[in-house]
Amino acid sequence: MSRGAMLDLVLTNKEGLVGDVKLKGSLGYSDHEMVEFEILRAARRVHGKLTTLDFRRADFGLFRDLLGRIPRDKALEGRGAQDSWSAFKGHLFQAQERCIPTKRKSGRNTQRPAGMNKELLGKVKHKKEALLL
């Protein structure tokens, strides 16, 4: 790995996001040097398209009826626990699709900068918690 790529990975979680790196001389009488750089990123913000189940509009009567119609004896006969769960889960998700509508959530909580993933969000949260101590 080249030295430039190492700086990328120290400052970001991906290569190629650090550019225009300049050494600006030493800090006083120290052997350390100042480094000036730019972190390259898209100027746009990613709008999250978070969908959740809308239980207020769900038809639980139909949901209960559909799950009650599953031929459990025939569908689960001769299967282990994992295979039985997989078979039941398929029926459960089909009934969920039919009976529980989804809604799209939007707002400040679903917007985040491009490149900000769950891992980085967790690290930022951990940093904020550490600073509050």
pTM: 0.45
| Most confident stretch, 6-20, 44-58, 79-93, 114-128 | 79-93
The model's pLDDT over 49-79, given as tens digits with 9 standing for 90+, comes to 678 899 999 999 999 999 999 888 877 788 8
The domain ranges of the chain are 1-40, 50-104
Instruction: Report in angstroms the alpha-carbon separations of 14 from 11, 40, 42.
Output: 9, 11, 14
- Closest to 76 in 3D by CA, of 62, 65, 90: 90
- Residue 64 has a pLDDT of 95
- Residue 12 has a pLDDT of 63
Band of residue 108 on the pLDDT scale cut at 50, 70, 90:
low
Return d(Cα 108, Cα 110) in angstroms, integer: 6
Q: What region does 107 belong to: left with phi over 0, alpha with psi -120 to 50, or beta?
A: left
- Residue 1 has a pLDDT of 43
Return d(Cα 23, Cα 33) in angstroms, integer: 7
